[in-house]
Amino acid sequence: DWGAWTQNSDEKTHTRICKRDTSHTETENCHGGTADCTHKAVCTVCGGEYGEMAAHSFTAEKAEAKYLKS
């Protein structure tokens, strides 16, 4: 009877604890998601951000709507 996964303070792993016996725990590495130059990847299991941000791409042509000419 496991509780929810929660991200650990190392921001690299997550842990869940048995609701019936707190000495039973499981810990796994965060995984999934894709980092970009403004956000870390988001773990598909615990929902926490982890890892490093990706390098900024100065060649990408993506303008925010407020900068587009109307």
DSSP string computed for 9-20: TTSSEEEEEBSS
Radius of gyration of the chain (CA): 18
Q: Average model confidence (pLDDT) for the chain?
A: 90
More confident residue, 58 or 33: 33
Residue 70 has pLDDT above 70, yes or no: no
Mean pLDDT of 36-45: 94
Distances (CA, A) of 9 to 1, 14, 48, 58, 66: 24, 9, 10, 32, 37
pLDDT in tens, 51-68: 999 988 766 677 777 777
pLDDT of residue 60: 63
What pLDDT score was predicted for residue 2? 96
